Structure formats: structure tokens, C-alpha cells
Amino acid sequence: MRALFTSKWTKVVVFLLCLMPLASLGWRALHNDLSANPIEFITHATGDWTLRFLLITLAITPLRKILRLPDLIRFRRMLGLFAFFYACLHFTTYIWLDKFFDLAEMWKDVAKRRYITVGFTAFVLLIPLASTSTAGWIRRLGGRRWQQLHRLIYISAVCGVIHYYWLVKSAVLRPLTYAAILAVLLLWRLATKYWPQPRPATVELPPKPQRAQA
Amino acid sequence: MLLRKAPDLTYADVTPKSLYLDRRKFLRGMGIAGAAALAGARLWDLASPRTSAFAATKFSGLIKSPFSTTEKQNTYDDVTHYNNFYEFGTDKSDPSKNAQKFQTAPWTVSVEGAVKKPRQFTLDEILKLAPLEERIYRHRCVEAWSIVVPWIGYSFSALAKAVEPTPKARYVAFESYYDPRQMPWGKYAGIDFPYVEGLRLDEAMNPLALLCVGMYGESLPNQDGAPVRMVLPWKYGFKSAKSLVKIRFTEKQPPTTWNRMASNEYGFYANVNPKVDHPRWSQAKERRLGEFFKRETLMFNGYGEQVASMYNGMDLRKNY
């Protein structure tokens, strides 16, 4: 099992899996299967996958602890960067296909429409995280500061879920599902930080053999 | 003799003890992989070809309407696979899949309230009440997309005249069919059913207000509001209630579904108006399905000539 998580090939496979949503969009585009409103379809798909990758990224730490699979850490940066990748696609769809690079119009939107304000915030917060994702930046910032900075992902994910909740007309089930998962992931962090850790199950060790007296 | 000693197995081929002892973890991993495979299957299902619509009744001898637009019509495929019909699910692609088995025969529409001759109409009676016309209308959704559809029907006023509204009638309430067994998706829609809509009597009697029984030369597909619905081309799409079972003439303004759900976002009138934004998005432009660039939205969706006079002296910012 451990070998499965430490093999470099697993990383390649995960990388390719992460590209599947994009490949699916490409496939559908080729087959004229992006619904009657392709721009809306692409916007929703890229937005959905941004949220999903944010949640998967946030699930790594709890899963490492719960499943006792510390090697999962190898995938966290990649998953986080994929969240940013899909966020970029989502934002590009909006600014290009929805606003046609009308920046004035975009700023009006950001200022006036609260779901766009909060969604834009979620996107902007990811930029420093993506740009300091290298080992060099961890060194330059120092582990502690780097970690503090990267807690911005919590705010970004919360903003992302609110963005989704505020834009739907009435079908709140899906945004609430994302919200519930995010709540579990964040509450787990709070719980493990402030509640006393349960002691690791102790194993009765056989008594040390008494050393013969000299 | 088939039993043979495998010649090429060496001690190196034995599963390492650590891996053997980790097999439960491996199985757990397989569980995750299985879940991923299921998710993949679902994606595949989503990518598979669309279900085809059921056989529809063809209409012939339709009268061409002077209200028709000459704009390019949307494809039948677009109009039947991109629907808001929340009883059948909230995704645009849900109704085309989930409404396939919807039972629309036999069908009756009860017309009641402030009328001299309240009665139940069978669908057949509705089809024969007035000559059927083809009307190619622009249809603008409150979500800022639009389509052009060749609807079939006649002015709602023909039905109203058949039941003779009394002087007390000032509004008309429309109620859609709702059956949680046929429409289990409705539970997750976030709005109350049955779906109710309403018009002022003069709006309902406007010749543009269409009692609609078909489109593209055929009876209405289930996902587009079969077997009978309203079409009000100068109002946002949600005003045009689908799959009608009850029409009630009332003295007071009837409650309407989206208005009840969020009155600051969806007004009773809901006339298409590029100058009054939805609180969460602009209504100045719209995306015509099939077009890449957005187009300007027209006041009353371009039907001002027929309907603007009904709203003279009204503040359309307040009465959105």
C-alpha cells in the first residue's frame, strides 16, 4: 500500500486523473455536447471542479491522519494547484466568454453583485498560494510563515461555497452539500487543535528483561 | 497431466511480508478506487447520447400569426434539452430525462372562480375551442438567456370568453400539475409546488397571451410543459406556467411561486425590462441560445407595441 502512494507513477496517474474534467469538456466540445448554452455549461463545470479540488485538497490532511497515510502529502500541492488551474479556467470563461474583456463591466459586477464579489475574492486569495507553492518559497518564507499564509485556503474555500450558494435561484441542495463537506473538513481541524488528542492505543509491552546484577 | 510446476517462480516473486500484512489497507484503497470508478461511470453516463423524445401528435392546417417574428428559430433539440421545469429537476438537462414517463393523458383543466360558466375542459375540448395558430415568439428567461420558438395555440382570451368572467374577475391564477410520485425531483427544487402563476385580467386577455398546446408543428414535449401551458412573450419565462390543471379567475392578486420564494427578486409583473436588473445579475443583455455574443435585451422583449399601453402610468421600477 505504501508503495502505491510513494511510487512516482501514482503521481503521474493522479495528475492525469485531475485533467479528466478538462478532457471531458474538450470531448464534449468536439461532439457538440455542451448543452444548448455551452458558455454556461463550461462556466458551471469549471466552477464545480474548482470547488471539488479545493475540498479534495483540504481533505488530504484529515485523511493522512485518519487513514494513517502520511504519504498522501505528496499529492496536496498538485491538487491545490489543480484547484487554482480550474479557478483560472472558470475566471477566464467569465472574463472572456461572458464579459468579452470588458473590464469596466467586470469591475461593476465585482462591486455590485455580491456573489461575484465573494467569488472574485475566493479566486484572488488563491493567487498568493499558487505562486508560493514551490519548495524555494517555503524556504524563503520559513515553514511557519508559509503555513500561516497557506491557511488562506480556508477563507478561499468558504468564499467559493458562498459564491455558489448566492448564485443559485432556489436549488440550494448542491451548494449546501459542498458547505457541509467543507464544514466537516474545517471542524475536524478545529477539533484536533483544541480538543485533547486521544492517546494512541498503547500496547502492553513485555517487561524488559532484568539485567543481571553485576 | 495438467499440473505442472511453474518453472519461473522464484523466491523473489513472493509477496513481501509487509505488503501481505498491509492487504487490509490495500482493500481499503480498493474501496476508494471503486468509488472513483463509480463516479467515472456516472460521468460516462452523463456523456452518453441523449434520450429521444416520445412520438408526438402532428398538427396540420395551422394559421400563420401576424405576431410571429421572422428571427431565426432555435433548434428543436435546444428547446427540448435546455429547460427550467423544476418539478423534474433543477438542472437544465434534467427535464428532458426525467419527464419522459410523465402521464399527460387523460388530462383535464378546471376553469373556475369568478366566471359564469365554470367547467372542466378535456384536452380534446381545449384543442377544438379555437383554430390553432403557429406563433413564433421570442422567449426571454429571467436568467438572461433567450430562445425563439414556433409555439402552437390560440389567444387565452378564447378560453376566457368560453367561461364568461364576471365583473368581479380582476386577475387570473394559473396552477401547474404536481404529483410528487411522478415528480420526485420537486422535493429538492427549493420552491413550493404546485407551481402557481398569475396575471391581471387585461394582461391575460391581451391577444399575445397564448394558451399553448404545441411547438414545431407537434404537441408539446413533456419537458416543455405538456399538454397545455401559457406563453407570455413580453414577460420573463417563469410567468408562463406549464402543464396547467387549474385556471382561476379571482378578485384579488393571486400569490405566485417565485414571488413567494423571493419577492425582491421576482415581481408579480416580471415584464422583460433591460433597465431593471435582477438584484444578482444584469438584465441589460441576454444570450440567445446558439449565439456566441450577447445581445441587447429589448423592453417588453420587443413586444411594446402590443403591451406597453397596459402599463401606462405605472412605475415599472417598483412593479418589476
- Digits of tens for pLDDT over chain A (214 positions)? 667 777 888 999 999 999 999 999 999 999 988 999 999 999 999 999 999 999 999 999 999 999 999 999 999 999 999 999 999 999 999 999 888 888 888 888 888 899 999 999 999 999 999 999 999 999 999 989 999 999 999 999 999 999 999 999 888 999 999 999 999 999 999 999 887 666 655 555 556 666 655 4
CA dihedral A172, A177, A181, A182 (to 10 degrees): -20
**Does residue B186 belong to any structural domain of this protein?**
yes
List, as ranges, residues 267-296 from B with C-beta within 8 Å of A.
Answer: 280-282, 287, 289-290, 293-294
Which of A25, A27, A37, A48 to mutate to probe the B interface, most B CBs <10 Å? A37
8 Å CB contact of A170 and B289: no
Domain that holds residue B131: 63-311
What's the rounded Cα separation, in Å, for the pair B84 and A171? Answer: 12
What CATH number is given to the structural domain containing B108?
3.90.420.10
The answer, as to whether pTM is greater than 0.95, is no
**Does residue A132 belong to any structural domain of this protein?**
yes
Please give, rounded to a whole number of angstroms, the shortest distance from the CA of B7 to a CA of chain A.
28
8 Å CB contact of B280 and A24: no
The model's pLDDT over A188-209, given as tens digits with 9 standing for 90+, comes to 999 998 876 666 555 555 566 6
The model's pLDDT over B15-67, given as tens digits with 9 standing for 90+, comes to 555 555 554 444 444 444 545 554 554 554 444 444 444 568 999 999 999 99
E-assigned strand segments in B3-143: 63-64, 108-113, 119-122, 133-140
Q: Are strands B171-176 and B244-250 parallel, antiparallel or unpaired?
A: antiparallel
Residue B246 has pLDDT above 70, yes or no: yes
What's the rounded Cα separation, in Å, for the pair A63 and A41? Answer: 32
**Does residue A40 belong to any structural domain of this protein?**
yes
**Does residue B263 belong to any structural domain of this protein?**
yes
What's the rounded Cα separation, in Å, for the pair B235 and B262? Answer: 17
- Cell 450558494 appears where? A165
How many contacts does A have with B, using Cβ atoms within 8 A? 71
**Does residue B271 belong to any structural domain of this protein?**
yes
**Does residue A197 belong to any structural domain of this protein?**
no
Return the HEC string of A107-141. Answer: HHHHHHCHHHHHHHHHHHHHHHHHHCCCHHHHHHH
Please give, rounded to a whole number of angstroms, the shortest distance from the CA of A196 to a CA of chain B.
27
The model's pLDDT over B69-121, given as tens digits with 9 standing for 90+, comes to 999 999 999 999 999 999 999 999 999 999 999 999 999 999 999 999 999 99
**Does residue A203 belong to any structural domain of this protein?**
no
Domain count along chain A: 1
End-to-end CA distance of chain A: give it in Å, rounded: 47
Domain that holds residue A36: 2-190
8 Å CB contact of A36 and B287: no
Domain count along chain B: 1
Residue B221 has pLDDT above 70, yes or no: yes
What's the rounded Cα separation, in Å, for the pair A41 and B88? Answer: 19
**Does residue A208 belong to any structural domain of this protein?**
no
**Does residue A204 belong to any structural domain of this protein?**
no
Tell me what the pLDDT averaged over chain B comes to: 88
How many C-beta neighbours within 10 Å does residue B251 have? 13
